Structure 1
Amino acid sequence: MKTQAGALLSSIRVDRDGGRKITVQLYMALRDLILSGGVKAGERLPASRTLATELGLSRTTVSNALDRLITEGLLEARVGSGTYVNVALQGQQRMPRTASANEQAPRAEPRLSHATSHAARHLAERGRLPHRPLPFVTALPAVDAFPMAHWARLSARHWRTDRREVMGYGDPFGLPRLRAAIATHLNALRGIRCDPAQVFIVGGAQQAFSLIGGLLLNPGDRIWFENPGAIGARNALVSSGADLVPVSVDEHGMVVAQGLERAPHFRLAFVTPSHQQPLGHVMSLARRLELLQAAEDSDALIIEDDYDGEFPFSNQPHPPLRSIDTRGRVIYVGTFSKSLFPALRIGFILAPDGLVDTFSQLSMAWLSGVPTAPQATIADFIEEGLFATHIRAMRHVYQERYAALMEAFAPFAGCFDVQPTNSGFHTIGLLCGDVGEDEAVERAAARGVQFSPLSRYCLEPIDTHGLVIGFGSSPPHEIRRAAEALKGWPGRD
C-alpha cells in the first residue's frame, strides 16, 4: 500500500476574505509551526500535492510558500526524499506562546459543577498508585510470583481469534464467559450464591465506586465511611457530591453505634470487612449483623470492598458480608488488581437483585465495555483451574513474607510495634515514642525505605499513630534488607 508520509498540518487556517495574500498566510503559518516546535526539527512535511489537497489550496500556492521557507533555511529539500524541517533547528525551537511579553492573555474561568467543586474541597491527596515493588509499599501484590508463562499462553490464544471479537467494543455488561466464571468462583471460594446476570465487569474497583456513586447518590447524601479507610474509594464517593461521615473502626470492624449517632439517616455505608483497609481487622459476625440491620432500618445500601479477601493465612477465608445478606442490601465489589496484577484494570460489581435492571440500563447506555481479550484470558485462567492454584500459592507466599516482616521488625519492639494480621499483604506499625508519623516517614525515606502514614487514610484524626506497611510485593530477603537499613529508626539521633 502506498503511503502519504509527513506531518499532519490540518490545523493551518487561511482567510480567503482577508487582505493578506493566501501564499503569505500559508508561509507565516508554516513558519510559526516550525519555530514553535509544532513540527519538529528533522520531521518530514507532506508533499506539496498532499498538503494542497488537505488545505484546499492550489499546488502552486503551497509550492511558493515552501520554496520561501527553503530559501530562508527553515526547510531543506532532499532530492528523491521530500521536504524536511532543517535539523539545524534542533534545540532552537521554542514552545508556542499564548501571548506576547507585554500582553496579558485572557484566562477563562469555567464554572464547575457543584459535585466537582465539592470534591475539590474534600478529595484526599493520593498521588500515583505504587508501581514499583519496593519493600513496605502498599496495594501491590506479589507480581514476581505471578505465573506469566501460563498467562502469556492464554493471552496469545485470544489474540489469534477472530479480530471482530477481540478488537471491537466489548459487551457493556462484560464478557459472558467471565461473568459466569466469576459467579462460579464466588460461590465456590467466597460462599456467595449469585447468578452471572448480577455480575458487571468494570475497569477496576475505582470505576465501580464511581459508578455506584453516580447511580445512587445525590449531593448531600450521608455515607458512613470507615475512619481510617480506603483512599481511592473515598475520593470516588466524594466526587459524587455526597457527605462522608467518618465512623471509627475497632477490632470488631466499623462501630455501627457511632454511625447511628452521627448520621441515623444514611444512604450508603462503605466497609472492608474481610481485611479492613488499612488497620487489617476482620469485622465480627455480631458487627456484620448490626450493620445489615442498620441498613435495613434506614433503607440504605452497603458497599463491600473485598479487595484482598482471597488471601487468609489459614485455609478458610473470612466470609464476605454479602454471603449473609438476605435482604439485598450489599453491593459487592471485587478486583483482579490484587488477585492477579494491577495493570489489568479489571474489576466487577455484584449487584443485588433489586439493582440488576438499573445496572443493566446504565451499562447499556453509558459504558463501552472493558477490552475483551484480557477478560477472555481471565475467564480461561479461572476455568482451567489456574486461578485457584494461583490463589493457593499466593497464600503461602504472603504468609512467608509476613513471617519475614514480623521477624525483621521484632528488634524494633517498644519504639515501632508491627501489629499481627492473619490475611492479605499489609498491616500497620504503631509508633511508640515522641516521633510523629510524618517525621518517621521522612527519616525512613532518608534511608531509602518507603512508608505511608496512617493519618493519610483518615477523614478525621484518630488516637492511633502509626505507619501502614505493605509486605506482599517484596520477597523475604528484600524485607530483611530494608529493615536492616532502618537500624536505630525511628528514634531521633
Structure 2
Amino acid sequence: MLKGRTGGVVKYAAGALIPPIRIDRNDDAAISVQLAGALRNLILSGQLAAGQRLPSSRTFAREQNVSRTTAVNVYEQLTSEGLIQSRVGAGAFVSDAVERDRPQAPVTAPSPMKGSKPPRLARLSLDASEQFFPRIDHPNVPRAFVTGMPAYDQFPMALWARLSAQYWRRSPSLVLGYSDAAGLPELRAAIARHLWANRGISCTPDEVFIFNGAQDAFNRIGQMLLNQGDKVWFENPGHIGARNSLISNGATLVPVPVDSEGMDVSVGLALSKSFRLAFVTPAAQHPLAVTMSLTRRLELLNAAERCGAWIVEDDFNGELHYSGYPAPTLKSIDQTGRVIYVGSFSKVMFAALRIGYVVAPPDLAEVFRRIAGATMQGVPANLQATMATFVSEGHLATHIRRMRRIYTERQNALLSAAEEHLGGLLDVRPAAAGLQTVGHLAEGFDDVEVARKAGERGIILSSFNRLAFAPVGQGLIMGFGAVPPRSITKSVAQLGELLRDIRDGKA
C-alpha cells in the first residue's frame, strides 16, 4: 500500500520504491558498481531517509532488470560502507548513522552561476593560481604543428620492450622494492657519461638527480631556492609550464625580452639588477627557437655571479641540433657553479616516459640529496633501469643521430611547403635545434585569432602572444616532429588556404 513520498522515492510496506536506475552496459564500470553508485547517491542526498526500509534484493533485482546476484553484491557493498543495515527477519534499511553523520548543505546555498565562494586556499596558492597561464593539452593522435611531440612512429618499440622485459626477469628482491629517492645509481651514472660525451658537461653521478619529468624538477627547484617575492628573470615569450611552477613558489617574474641572440641580459639588468634566479632555454629558445649567443651566455653568467643568483638552464631539446656543432651549454662554461642544468628524455624518446633530471652545482648537490631523501619517492624503478640500459648500451646515441636526420627531413618539408603555399602570408624560419620553428605573420593578422580559427579547421597552432607577458609581435609556433613530411605538406596547404580566407574577409 502506498504510504507517501520522500524526495521522489515512494514508500511501500515492502520497502522503498526506487526509481529505475540508468545502466550503461557499454561502460567500463561493472553493472553492480553503477547501481551501487546510484543507490549511494540516493542515500547520501537524503532521497532515501535514515531508517527507511529497502526492497528485498530479489525485488530490487526485478525492478532494476538485473540478476539477483548483482543485487546482492550491491547491498553487500553498501553494507560494508555502513550505508545499509541488515536486521534479522526484517530486511535491509538505510543506516541510522547516515542521518547523524551526513554533511548538511546550507539552507540557502548560493548558485554556482551567481558567483559561489571558491574553496579556501593557502594565500600563496591563491595568489599563484590567479597568475597561471593556461596550458594546451596535447592530442592523443599526432598532428602537424603540435609542439613538443616527438616522432612516435619512429621510436624503437621492440628494442624498448626487450630491455624492459630484461628488467622484469631480475630477482623480485631487486625489482619490487623502493628505489633510491635521488634516482637509480646506474641511471645517474649513465646520464653523467652521456652528458660528458654529448653536451660537454663534466659532472659526477652524485650531482645528478632524477625527477618525474622536467616539470617536477622546476617545482622542486622553486621550492628549494625561492622565497615569496623573489625576482626571477624569465624569457618573454617563454615556457608556460616552468612559468607556472615558479609562480606557484612565490616568484615575482621579471619578463626579459628575447631577440635574435636570446635573452637580452642588458634589459634584464635595467629591469632588475638584483635577482634570485634566471630561467633560460639557450639551445633553442622556447618558443622562438633562437639559439643564445656565446656573448649573451657569458653576460648572463657574469650577471648571476655578481648578485649571487642561480640560473636554471632548461636544455629540453639541445641534443636535437641540425647543423654543425651546437653552441656550448651554459653548464659546460660555468666556472663558478651558478647553473642548475635540467634535462629530459621526453623529447628525444617519448612523452609518457616522464624521466627528467637535474645536474646540481656542487654547492647544491648535498641539499638536493637531503631533500630527495626526505620528501621524494622517486621515478618508477623499471623505467629508470630500462632507460639506464638504453643509454649505457649506446642505443640513445644511435637513436638521437637517427632522429636528427628524420627531423631535418620533416623541417625541410615544412620550409619547402611554406615557400610554396605561405608566401606573403607567413614567413617560416628554420630552427637550428628542437622540434618546432616559428613563422612571422604578415601585417594585418592577429596570431591569437589565426590560431583559434585554425583550431576550428582542425589545425593545431600556438601563437607567440599566448606565451607572452606582453605583446611580442604576431607569429605562430609550428611543430614539425610528430608527423611525416606528406602530412606536414598537406597541413601547410590548408593553413595557406585559411590565411588567404582571413586576409580576404572570408573567415
**TM-score per shorter chain, which class?**
0.7 to 0.9
> In structure 2, the residue corresponding to 1:226 is in which secondary structure?
strand
Per-residue CA deviations over 1:429-486 (Å, capped at 9, x if unaligned) read 0001312112222332343311111101111222x21000000111101001111223
Higher deviation after alignment, 438-447 or 209-218? 438-447
Amino acid at match of 1:298: C
2:432 alignment counterpart: 422
Provide the TM-score with structure 1 as the length reference: 0.82
Give the whole-Å Cα distance in 1 for the aligned partners of 2:336 and 2:77: 66
1:64 aligns with 2:91: yes
Give the whole-Å Cα distance in 2 for the aligned partners of 1:49 and 1:438: 55
Give yes or no for contact 1:130–1:140 (8 Å, CA) kept in 2: no
2:457 alignment counterpart: 447
Per-residue CA deviations over 1:375-424 (Å, capped at 9, x if unaligned) read 11100101111111000000001100010000000031221100122221
- Tell me how large the CA RMSD over aligned residues is: 3.4
Give the whole-Å Cα distance in 2 for the aligned partners of 1:443 and 1:49: 53
1:41 Cα offset (Å): 11
2:296 alignment counterpart: 287
1:431 aligns with 2:458: no
Residue among 376, 387, 396 paired with 1:378? 387
Give the whole-Å Cα distance in 2 for the aligned partners of 1:184 and 1:283: 25
> In structure 2, the residue corresponding to 1:144 is in which secondary structure?
helix
> In structure 1, the residue corresponding to 2:162 is in which secondary structure?
helix
Give the whole-Å Cα distance in 1 for the aligned partners of 2:241 and 2:53: 49
2:359 alignment counterpart: 350
> In structure 2, the residue corresponding to 1:486 is in which secondary structure?
helix
Give the whole-Å Cα distance in 2 for the aligned partners of 1:40 and 1:242: 59
Instruction: Evaluate the alpha carbon distance shift between residue 182 and residue 51 of structure 1 in structure 2; reply closer, same or farther with a 3 A threshold.
Output: same
1:186 alignment counterpart: 195
Give yes or no for contact 1:26–1:62 (8 Å, CA) kept in 2: no
Give yes or no for contact 2:337–2:363 (8 Å, CA) kept in 1: yes
2:18 alignment counterpart: none
> In structure 1, the residue corresponding to 2:222 is in which secondary structure?
helix
1:391 alignment counterpart: 400
2:165 alignment counterpart: 156
Alignment of 1:20-35 (within 5 A): 24=51, 27=54
Number of corresponding residues: 446
Instruction: Evaluate the alpha carbon distance shift between residue 155 and residue 41 of structure 1 in structure 2; reply closer, same or farther with a 3 A threshold.
Output: farther
Alignment of 1:34-73 (within 5 A): 43-46=70-73, 60-61=87-88, 64-65=91-92
Amino acid at match of 1:223: V
Alignment of 1:26-175 (within 5 A): 27=54, 43-46=70-73, 60-61=87-88, 64-65=91-92, 104=109, 110-175=119-184
Amino acid at match of 1:145: Q
Give the whole-Å Cα distance in 1 for the aligned partners of 2:300 and 2:314: 15
Per-residue CA deviations over 1:124-180 (Å, capped at 9, x if unaligned) read 111324443100110101111101110011111212323343333332101111000
1:469 alignment counterpart: 478
Give yes or no for contact 1:166–1:371 (8 Å, CA) kept in 2: no
2:12 alignment counterpart: none
Give yes or no for contact 1:165–1:372 (8 Å, CA) kept in 2: no
1:78 alignment counterpart: none
Give the whole-Å Cα distance in 1 for the aligned partners of 2:495 and 2:156: 33
Amino acid at match of 1:419: R
Give yes or no for contact 1:270–1:305 (8 Å, CA) kept in 2: yes
Alignment of 1:364-375 (within 5 A): 364-375=373-384
Amino acid at match of 1:451: L
> In structure 2, the residue corresponding to 1:343 is in which secondary structure?
helix
Instruction: Evaluate the alpha carbon distance shift between residue 56 and residue 224 of structure 1 in structure 2; reply closer, same or farther with a 3 A threshold.
Output: closer
Q: Which runs of 5 or more residues in structure 1 are unaligned?
A: 15-20, 69-95
Alignment of 1:309-324 (within 5 A): 309-324=318-333
Provide the TM-score with structure 2 as the length reference: 0.80
Instruction: Evaluate the alpha carbon distance shift between residue 47 and residue 443 of structure 1 in structure 2; reply closer, same or farther with a 3 A threshold.
Output: closer
1:314 Cα offset (Å): 2.5
1:211 Cα offset (Å): 0.3
Instruction: Evaluate the alpha carbon distance shift between residue 241 and residue 45 of structure 1 in structure 2; reply closer, same or farther with a 3 A threshold.
Output: farther
Instruction: Evaluate the alpha carbon distance shift between residue 47 and residue 453 of structure 1 in structure 2; reply closer, same or farther with a 3 A threshold.
Output: closer
Percent identity over paired residues:
45
Instruction: Evaluate the alpha carbon distance shift between residue 153 and residue 97 of structure 1 in structure 2; reply closer, same or farther with a 3 A threshold.
Output: same
> In structure 1, the residue corresponding to 2:498 is in which secondary structure?
coil
Q: Which runs of 5 or more residues in structure 2 are unaligned?
A: 1-30, 44-48, 95-101
Give yes or no for contact 2:411–2:430 (8 Å, CA) kept in 1: no
Instruction: Evaluate the alpha carbon distance shift between residue 237 and residue 131 of structure 1 in structure 2; reply closer, same or farther with a 3 A threshold.
Output: farther
Residue among 463, 467, 473 paired with 1:457? 467
